Amino acid sequence: MLEDKTPPKTELEQLGEFGLIDTLTKDIKLQHKSTLKGIGDDAAVLDFKDSKVVMTTDMLVEGVHFDLGFMPLKHVGYKAVMVNLSDVCAMNATPTQITVSIAVSNRFPLEALEELYSGIRLAAELYKVDVVGGDTTSSTKGMIISITALGIADEKKITYRSGAKPTDLLVVSGDLGGAYMGLKVMQRENEVFKVNPNNQPDLEPYQYIVERLLKPEARVDIVKLLSDLEVVPTSMIDISDGLSSEILHLCTHSKVGCDLYEEKLPLDPTVISVCEEFEVNSTTIALSGGDEYELLFTVAQKDYDKIKANPNLTVIGYMTEEAMGAHLVTRADQKIPLKAMGWNSFGEE
């Protein structure tokens, strides 16, 4: 049926993930008054009378999003939950429930699924979310995990991608580029292992970045911190596709420009040294390395005093008028247009 289809035929790589989602969802009309926000942010926002609920979903595919060659199944399960909780956090909401659907081929024994589930359970326990449902079925190839998360939010604090104003400060939690360099290290060790299985890799010097890759944490703590500091961000997104890509999302949705300062980018010493080892530019990695799950948000200038001393938060730039565009201001004080260099699952096949 598909094979004898006549043109038009548009390859998915041409569109990329965001273009594809836009194309597929542009005709969707919302009918329920309980739907405050549908597609187009980190999560949907639903109005169940007294409660505002956010809803988000993410699918992870073996061989596309994770490689069981170096990622233990327990970590896959943990990470699959984190990816979703991170989207809930990016709405300034608190995760409450998840459903978990898994498709696996017959090459996986029960014990493999139990290991996967032990990671899912650990994540649920640590982050106090309830696993309330799911589906488990067979696949024709590999493992696919689809998780949907719900969270509750204070209506006045729900943070969309669209609220940033010129002069707002751009803030990021944690540090950048660790997960990507962790992946590079693990891929290198995996190649070495294939050639010589007796060669035991010494990952000790890379512990921090390997953990950033294998055991990311959703920044529920930042949502709580912002609440404690009495700061409501004007816009927020999580960094799953790389910093520059996410900054451009905030700019597009908020209709603003941005000046991002290279010298302000928070980098862990391990990332700097591993970038030297791999002979890659650490700024490029900080800008384009995905899989971070840090929160990127904007705050009004008046809130600067509340956040400036916090070691978890770094002011990395400020928003400008839309016509100014989005730029990286280098250490040499040059302004370079920001480009989306994020990760595209369709381009990687």
Minimum CB separation from a second copy for residue 118, in Å?
A: 9
* Interacting residues with a second copy between 100 and 139 (CB under 8 A): 101-114, 117, 121, 124-125, 128-139
Minimum CB separation from a second copy for residue 101, in Å?
A: 4
Q: Which is nearer to a second copy, 91 or 307 (CB)?
A: 91
Minimum CB separation from a second copy for residue 37, in Å?
A: 8
Residue 99 in contact with a second copy, rule: CB under 8 A: yes
Contact 203, 312 (CB under 8 A): no
Three-state SS annotation for the chain: CCCCCCCCCCCHHHHHHHHHHHHHHCCCCCCCCCEEECCCCCCEEEEECCEEEEEEEEEEEECCCECCCCCCHHHHHHHHHHHHHHHHHCCCCEEEEEEEEEEECCCCCHHHHHHHHHHHHHHHHHCCCEEEEEEEEECCCCEEEEEEEEEEECHHHCCCCCCCCCCCEEEEECCCCHHHHHHHHHHHHHHHHHHCCCCCCCCHHHHHHHHHHHCCCCCHHHHHHHHHCCCCCCEEEECCCCHHHHHHHHHHHHCEEEEEEHHHCCCCHHHHHHHHHCCCCHHHHHHHCCCCCCEEEEECHHHHHHHCCCCCEEEEEEEEEHHHCEEEECCCCCEEECCCCCCCCCCCC
* Interacting residues with a second copy between 309 and 348 (CB under 8 A): 345-346, 348
* Interacting residues with a second copy between 68 and 87 (CB under 8 A): 68-70, 72-73
> Distance between CA 164 and CA 323 in Å, rounded?
15
Minimum CB separation from a second copy for residue 185, in Å?
A: 17
Q: Which stretch binds a second copy (CB under 8 A): 141-149, 177-185, 263-271, 301-309?
A: 141-149
Among 63, 166, 201, 325, interactor with a second copy by CB under 8 A:
63
Among 79, 82, 92, 96, interactor with a second copy by CB under 8 A:
96
Q: Which stretch binds a second copy (CB under 8 A): 1-9, 219-227, 229-237, 257-265?
A: 1-9
- 304-to-87, 98, 171, 223 alpha-carbon distances in Å: 25, 35, 10, 17
**How big is the site for a second copy, counted in residues (CB under 8 A)?**
96
Among 66, 82, 88, 148, interactor with a second copy by CB under 8 A:
148
* Interacting residues with a second copy between 23 and 62 (CB under 8 A): 23-25, 27-32, 34-35, 37-39, 43-44, 46, 48-51, 53, 55-59, 61-62
Q: Which is nearer to a second copy, 139 or 162 (CB)?
A: 139
Minimum CB separation from a second copy for residue 245, in Å?
A: 16
Q: Which is nearer to a second copy, 197 or 269 (CB)?
A: 197
Minimum CB separation from a second copy for residue 229, in Å?
A: 25
Q: Which is nearer to a second copy, 12 or 272 (CB)?
A: 12
Minimum CB separation from a second copy for residue 48, in Å?
A: 4
Q: Which is nearer to a second copy, 128 or 264 (CB)?
A: 128
Residue 66 in contact with a second copy, rule: CB under 8 A: no
